[in-house]
């Protein structure tokens, strides 16, 4: 269908000339006064209007045209209204632009100029309406900030609704970057504990020597530097939820104390002898295979079954179908607003690249790539190269698995070269955790170099 264009002018001959010139590209509607213009506008909802300011009952004055402009914009603020005015009316046209008109053209109208202007108007109108529709979709489909419409995500949302109503421990499983903390927050916000604190701790980011004090707190004088009594994270989450991310990184001695807390709902601070009752719900998460850790003696079996009363598995981004483009567009609009770069869109090449990329870093990697593309890109259409995804059509492999592993290997090695073999920096760039980076290195056969030597191509230093 051709887009609708409303022409408002009291001169029937001018309206007819414009209709003949533009009817090939647009569905033309005509009005000769304000009342009929408003009626037609409400009926067909055109994205663009050509408006003459001199309308009856007083064509010599701009008042009726300006009133029409105000009324049409009140009905649809996104409408692009172009003023058609004579040279003597230029001041009035500028006043109309100040009142919300998109642009103006002087009479006599040069048809090629008008066609170019209309093309630009309809393009901008389309972008703005797509953005508005995206915002509505996000408002409707977002589940406590988690965006997704795929069947895998619908299953996840239903699981969150169910476990939020009970007070049992929950274990969230999923690859790095799949949204484990957002899922834990959603469970907390939908539970009876929503008015209590949500306390999150990343167990892989805390040195082993500080882990016990961080979780359980300490008494004054318990160790060198313990100048005051301090509550731990478990006690701080009383009445709310404690989120233990990367639970598989907790040392075995601390696992024993954590198991005791889950069984008895009491803790003892480091250096203390008093048992302190604590009403805290525990939600844990990990991207590693805890059953493998149990078999290797790195994770206690009794603690696993205490934590995993309910298990929720988060799907990787590559298994979420259309959610990938939905999320990419949502991150694009968010980053564009933050960077004051309105009107950004993905090229078709970029869309193909996003759909074909394996996303080892999942949603976090997608968000980081889009944010970087918005900041570094120079045009209105972001390309696959802006996303650092290369040519989505190139394929030198024969299977999806081989293609994914080849791309993952290239990405990891390129990131390592850019950061001189520093794994933490390379992992941050790709939006994945350090443990995930090591796992990918092992899977893809990327060798770790001696830390004292400079990394050669294909090898890394930690």
User: 391: domain CATH number?
Assistant: 1.10.8.60
- In this structure, is residue 156 part of a structural domain? yes
Q: Are residues 157 and 277 in the same domain?
A: yes
Which tokens sit at 145? Answer: 């900030």
Q: How far is CA 62 from CA 97, 164, 181, in A?
A: 13, 61, 58
For residue 387, what are the domain limits?
323-460
Whether 20 shows a pLDDT value over 50: the answer reads: yes
Q: What is the CATH number of the domain that holds 87?
A: 3.40.50.2300
The answer to the question of residue 146 being in a domain is: no
- What local confidence, expressed as pLDDT, does residue 455 receive? 37
Phi, psi at 172, each rounded to 5°: -100, 125
Mean pLDDT computed over 214-239: 87
310 and 340 housed in the same domain = no
- Please spell the DSSP secondary structure of 256-284, one letter per residue: HHHHHHHHHSEE--BT----EE---EEEE
pLDDT at 452 over 90: no
Mean of the per-residue pLDDT values of the chain: 86
Residue 162 sits in the same domain as residue 71: no
Domain boundary among 267, 297, 315: 315
Residue 402: CB atoms within 10 Å: 12
Q: Is residue 145 part of a domain?
A: no
Digit-coded pLDDT (tens) for 236-267? 999 999 999 999 999 999 999 999 999 999 99
Among 259, 286, 315, the domain-final residue is 315
Q: What is the pLDDT of residues 138-173, one digit of tens each?
A: 544 557 778 888 889 989 999 999 999 999 999 999
Q: Which of residues 315, 333, 362 is at a domain's end?
A: 315
- pLDDT computed for residue 215 by the predictor: 94
- Given a contact cutoff of 8 angstroms between Cβ atoms, the answer to whether 239 and 197 are in contact is yes
54: number of Cβ within 10 Å: 20
Confirm whether 403 is domain-assigned.
yes
Same domain, 269 and 172: yes
Same domain, 70 and 155: no
In the prediction, which pLDDT does 340 show?
87
Q: Do 174 and 302 fall within a single domain? A: yes
Shared-domain flag, residues 338 and 396: yes
Quick one: 100 and 69 in the same domain?
A: yes
Residues 444 and 297 in one domain: no
> What CATH number does residue 311 fall under?
3.40.50.300
Same domain, 88 and 118: yes
Q: Which two tokens stand for residue 248?
A: 């598989």
Same domain, 306 and 196: yes
Instruction: Confirm whether 144 is domain-assigned.
Output: no
With a cut of 70, say whether residue 281 has pLDDT above it.
Answer: yes
pLDDT, greater one: 196 or 208:
196
pLDDT of residue 403: 66
Per the structure, how many domains does the chain have? Answer: 3
Q: What is the DSSP string of 49-102?
A: EEEES--TT-TTSSHHHHHHHHHHHHH-TT-EEEEEE-GGGHHHHHHHHHTT--
Distance (Å, whole) CA 343 – CA 375: 14
Q: pLDDT (tens digit, 9 = 90+) per residue, 88-100?
A: 577 888 888 888 8
Higher pLDDT, 224 or 290: 290
Same structural domain for residues 268 and 415? Answer: no
């Amino acid at each position: 269908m051709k887009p609708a264009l409303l022409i408002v002018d009291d001169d029937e001959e001018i309206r007819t000339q414009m209709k003949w010139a533009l009817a090939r590209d647009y569905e033309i509607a005509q009005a000769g006064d304000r009342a009929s213009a408003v009626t037609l506008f409400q009926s067909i909802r055109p994205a663009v209007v050509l408006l003459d300011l001199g309308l009856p009952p007083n064509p010599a004055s701009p008042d009726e045209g300006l009133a029409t402009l105000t009324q049409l914009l009140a009905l649809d603020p996104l409408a692009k209204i172009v003023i058609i005015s004579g040279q003597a009316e230029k001041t009035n046209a500028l006043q109309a632009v100040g009142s919300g008109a998109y642009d103006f053209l002087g009479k006599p109208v040069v048809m090629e100029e008008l066609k170019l202007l209309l093309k630009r108007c309809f393009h901008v109108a389309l972008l703005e309406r797509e953005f508005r529709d995206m915002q509505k979709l996000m408002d409707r489909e977002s589940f406590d900030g988690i965006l997704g419409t795929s069947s895998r995500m619908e299953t996840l949302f239903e699981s969150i609704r169910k476990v939020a109503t009970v007070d049992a421990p929950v274990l969230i499983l999923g690859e790095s970057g799949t949204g484990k903390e957002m899922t834990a927050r959603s469970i907390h916000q939908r539970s009876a504990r929503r008015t209590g604190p949500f306390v999150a701790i990343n167990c892989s980011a805390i040195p082993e020597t500080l882990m016990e004090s961080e979780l359980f707190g300490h008494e004054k004088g318990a160790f060198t530097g313990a100048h005051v009594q301090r509550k731990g994270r478990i006690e701080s989450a009383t009445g709310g939820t404690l989120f233990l991310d990367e639970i598989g990184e907790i040392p075995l001695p601390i696992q024993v104390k954590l198991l005791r807390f889950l069984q008895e709902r009491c803790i003892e601070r480091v250096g203390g002898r008093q048992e302190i009752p604590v009403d805290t719900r525990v939600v844990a998460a990990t991207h590693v295979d805890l059953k493998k850790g149990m078999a290797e003696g790195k994770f206690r079996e009794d603690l696993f079954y205490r934590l995993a009363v309910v298990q929720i598995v988060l799907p990787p981004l590559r298994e979420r179908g259309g959610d990938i483009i939905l999320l990419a567009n949502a991150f694009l609009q968010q980053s564009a607003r933050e960077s004051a770069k309105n009107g950004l869109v993905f090229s078709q090449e970029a869309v193909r690249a996003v759909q074909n990329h394996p996303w080892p870093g999942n949603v976090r990697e997608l968000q980081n790539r889009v944010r970087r593309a918005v900041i570094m890109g120079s045009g209105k259409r972001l390309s696959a190269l802006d996303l650092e995804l290369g040519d989505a059509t190139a394929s030198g492999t024969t299977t999806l698995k081989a293609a994914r592993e080849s791309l993952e290997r290239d990405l990891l090695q390129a990131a390592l070269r850019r950061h001189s073999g520093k794994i933490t920096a390379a992992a941050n760039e790709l939006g994945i955790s350090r443990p995930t980076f090591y796992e990918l290195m092992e899977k893809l056969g990327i060798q770790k170099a001696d830390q004292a030597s400079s990394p050669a191509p294909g090898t890394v230093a930690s």
